Structure 1
Amino acid sequence: MIPMRRLRFRPLAVLAALGTLALTGCGTDTRASGAGTAGPGRTVTAHQFMRLTTTHQATGMTLLEGPTFGADGRLNVVDVTAPAGEPKLIRVDVKRKTARTLFTDRRGAYTSAQFSPYDGRIYLSDFASGAIVSLAADGTGPRTFFSGEVDGARMLPDDIAFDRDGHLYVSDSLGMSEGEARGRVVRVDRDGGKATVLADGLAATNGIAFDTDHRGLWISELTENRISYLPVVERPGMSGRHTAVRVDGGIAQTDSIAVDADGNLYQALHGRPAMEVYSRYGEHLATVRIPGRTEGLESATNVAITPGGTKAYMTVSGPAGGYLYTFEALAKGVRQSNGG
C-alpha cells in the first residue's frame, strides 16, 4: 500500500477528509551474492482489464490495493481511500468481468487483504486505526482480530502475510510520517493473543511476502528503495536480516511485493505504473509496464497471480481511476502470489 502522504495526487488535506488517518502514529548494507539490478531484463506488457473505481469526491482520490484470490476463484481488492459507505472491499468475477461491493464501513482505511489458511476468513489491515480486521469469506461478520500497542507503539499496518499455520506477519510502517526508520515486522499469533516484533529499524516497511519454502520473508522498504530478506526459521530476527535487492526506481519507490512458484519477486512501484521482477538471487528478470500514455495512472501498487496459473492481475491507480491490468507472470501463482 502507499500510505497517505506518498501520493502526489493525494494532498495531506485528504487525511482530514478520511477523518481517521493521523500523522502520528534495517538491516545491514551488505548485499547478498548477486544482489542488485544486474542486466536490463525483458519487457512484459500489461493490458487494461477493467476499471473498478473512479476518484471519490469526498477524498479526492482512489487507490486500489491488496488483490487476493479466494477459494471461489474470485479476486478481492481493497480501495484504501474509499469514504464511508462506498466500496472498501470489492469482489471481482474475473471470468465475467463484473465487480460488486463485498464490505464497507464508516472509518476503516484498508491497505491490504489476505485469506488465512487457518480459518478461511479474509483479513484486512486498517492503516487508520492500527488494527487487523477479519471477515467471513462472504464479507459478513466483521470483527477485530488484533488492535492496541506492540512494544509500546501502535502499528501502522500496511501489508500482511500468513505462514502455513495461519500466524500473521505484518509490515508495520511506524515512523513513516516522521521520515524515521522505525518500521517493523510484527508477528501475530493466529488467535490474535500475542504480537512479537521480529525486526525493527526499517525504512517505511511496505511489502511483505514469504519465500516459496516459508523459511523467510521478503520485505520492501519504501524510503530506501530496497528489498530486505528476513529469515524466520534459521537465524530469525534482526541478526539474520540483510539487504537483498536495491531497486533503481528513480522517482518511483518500492511498494508491495509478491512471489511466484519459482521464487521470483514482483516488486510494485509507487510513482510509476510498473513492476520490477527479480530472481531470488537479485537478478533483474523483467519490467512489467502498461502500454502507451500513462497520464492519470501513477502507481502500480500490487499484484495477484492466478493460483496454479500464470495470469496476473495488477492494481494500478491515479487521478484517472483505479484499474486492473493483466499480464503473463514468469511462473505460476501460489499462496505467496496473492499480494496481501
Structure 2
Amino acid sequence: MRRPPLAALATVGVLALTGCGTETGDPAAAPAGTIRAHEVMQLTQPHEETGMTLLEGPVLTHDGDLLVVDVTAPAGEPKVLRVDLRKKTSRGFHTDDRGAYTSAQFSPHDGRLYLTDFAHGDIVSLAPDGGDPRTFFSGEVDGARMNPDDIAFDRRGDLYISDSRGMSEGEPTGRVVRIDREGKNATVLADGLSAPNGISFDETHRGLWVSELTRNRISYLRLDDEGTIASRHTAVRVDGGIAQTDSIAVDADGNLYQALHGRPAMAVYDRYGERLATVEVPPARADGLESATNVAITPGGTKAYMTVSGPAGGYVYTFNAPGKGIRQSNGG
C-alpha cells in the first residue's frame, strides 16, 4: 500500500501515512501480454476531510463477499467495507475514530480478521461479522514502533508483517517482523529493507516474497524449518517507470501479482521472474485512477478482484487470473 501524502492524514489527526476475464473485441486495443480488467463497481468517493480515498486489502470471505479497507476514511465513515459481488452492493463493516488500515487478512488460527494500522503501529482484529474489535499488538519491536503495511499468515497462524519504516525519509530501515499468534512475541526477521510493502508466502510456504516500494524490486526471503530467514536476495527488478511496487499476492502456480502505485495496473511474474502479463484498467476508463493496490483471487478459481483508486474514487475491478487462488492470493 502506497501511503497518501502526509498532509492528507494530518487533517484527520493521525501520524504520517503517506463482467470478468480478458477483454474481447479488437486485438489491437490490448497489446500482447495484456489482461484487461473490467469494472465491478465504484465503492467510494474522495473524502472531504482527507481529500482522497484509497482502497486496499481485498480479502474474500467464506460466503464469497469481498472485504476492502479504505485507508484514508475519516472517523465515522466505513474503514472496512463489505461488498456483495453478486448484487454489486456494499455496506460498512467496521469503523472507528483512529485507525488508518492498509491491509486485511483472516487468520487460519482463530478465523478473525486482522487489520494493520499503519499510522499507529497497531494490529487490530475483528470477529468475522465485524464486531468485537481488539488490539492484538501494540508497542515497539526492538526499540522502534512499526509502520505495519501488509500481513502474511503462516500455517499455524503466526503473522509476518512488512514494516515500512523509513518510507517518508527514503532510508532502508524497513523490516519484516514476525508476531506469534498470541500477540506476545515479536521478532525482527529481516531489516535494511527499503519501505517493504507487499508480503506473501510462496505457494509452498518455504519463502516470502517482499516488495520494496522505494527500490521497485521484489526480494525473496528463504525460510528455514524454524520460520526464520535463511537467505535473501533480489528476485525481480520491476520496470515501473513512474509507478512503484505496492502489495503482492501469489497463486497456486507460484505466480506473483505485483500491484503498482502510480498506474492502475498489476504486473504478473512467474517464480523465476519472467513477466507473464500486465493486468490493466482499459485506457478509456483509466482517467482519474492512479493505483491498483492489491488483488484477491477466488479460492480454487481464477476470478480475481483488484482494488483501484485515484481522484475519480475507489473501485473494484475484475479479471481472469493466470492461476487459481489459494490463501496467499488474498492480497498479502
TM-score (norm: length of structure 1): 0.91
- The worse-fitting range, judged by mean Cα deviation, of 66-75 and 100-109 is 66-75
1:321 — aligned with what?
Answer: 313
Cα deviation for residue 179 of structure 1 reads 1.1
Cα deviation for residue 236 of structure 1 reads 6.3
CA distance in 2, matches of 1:2, 1:23: 9
Q: 3-state SS of the aligned residue for 1:57?
A: coil
1:18 — aligned with what?
Answer: 12
Q: Deviations over 1:292-328 (max 9, x none)?
A: 2321000000000011110000000000000001000
1:130 — aligned with what?
Answer: 121
Give 2:141's aligned amino acid: V
1:72 — aligned with what?
Answer: 63
Task: Check the 8 A contact 1:131/1:144 in 2, yes or no.
Answer: yes
**Is residue 258 of structure 1 aligned with residue 249 of structure 2?**
yes
Q: Deviations over 1:51-97 (max 9, x none)?
A: 00001001000000000012122110000000000010001111111
Q: 3-state SS of the aligned residue for 1:13?
A: helix
CA distance in 1, matches of 2:55, 2:115: 13
Task: Check the 8 A contact 2:4/2:17 in 1, yes or no.
Answer: no
Cα deviation for residue 118 of structure 1 reads 0.3
1:309 — aligned with what?
Answer: 301
- The worse-fitting range, judged by mean Cα deviation, of 52-61 and 66-75 is 66-75
Q: 3-state SS of the aligned residue for 1:300?
A: strand
Match of 1:156 among 147, 158, 167: 147
Q: 3-state SS of the aligned residue for 2:11?
A: helix
CA distance in 2, matches of 1:56, 1:89: 15
TM-score (norm: length of structure 2): 0.93
Match of 1:299 among 277, 291, 298: 291
Q: Deviations over 1:38-62 (max 9, x none)?
A: xx97110001110000010010000
Cα deviation for residue 275 of structure 1 reads 0.4
Give 2:149's aligned amino acid: D
Q: Which runs of 5+ in 1 are unaligned?
A: 6-11, 25-39
CA distance in 1, matches of 2:318, 2:34: 14
Assess, with a 3 A threshold, how the Cα gap between structure 1 residues 72 and 235 changes in structure 2: closer, same or farther. closer
1:111-126 matches, cutoff 5 A: 111-126=102-117
Task: Check the 8 A contact 1:41/1:287 in 2, yes or no.
Answer: no
Cα deviation for residue 3 of structure 1 reads 1.5
Q: For this pair of structures, how many residues does the alignment match?
A: 319
1:104 — aligned with what?
Answer: 95
Q: 3-state SS of the aligned residue for 1:85?
A: coil
CA distance in 2, matches of 1:252, 1:235: 36
CA distance in 1, matches of 2:66, 2:264: 20
1:245 — aligned with what?
Answer: 236
Q: Which runs of 5+ in 2 are unaligned?
A: 19-30
Cα deviation for residue 251 of structure 1 reads 0.3
CA distance in 2, matches of 1:190, 1:264: 27
CA distance in 1, matches of 2:105, 2:227: 23
Task: Check the 8 A contact 1:17/1:58 in 2, yes or no.
Answer: yes
**Is residue 169 of structure 1 aligned with residue 163 of structure 2?**
no
Give 2:218's aligned amino acid: I
Cα deviation for residue 273 of structure 1 reads 0.4
**Is residue 339 of structure 1 aligned with residue 328 of structure 2?**
no
- The worse-fitting range, judged by mean Cα deviation, of 67-76 and 298-307 is 67-76
Q: 3-state SS of the aligned residue for 1:190?
A: coil
2:258 — aligned with what?
Answer: 267
CA distance in 2, matches of 1:16, 1:44: 37
Task: Check the 8 A contact 2:223/2:230 in 1, yes or no.
Answer: no
Cα deviation for residue 2 of structure 1 reads 1.2
Cα deviation for residue 173 of structure 1 reads 0.3
Q: Deviations over 1:104-140 (max 9, x none)?
A: 0001000000000000000000011100000000000
Assess, with a 3 A threshold, how the Cα gap between structure 1 residues 71 and 19 changes in structure 2: closer, same or farther. same
- The worse-fitting range, judged by mean Cα deviation, of 69-78 and 297-306 is 69-78
Cα deviation for residue 23 of structure 1 reads 7.0
Higher relative contact order (CA 8 A, sep 6+): 1
Task: Check the 8 A contact 1:198/1:236 in 2, yes or no.
Answer: no
CA distance in 1, matches of 2:46, 2:124: 25
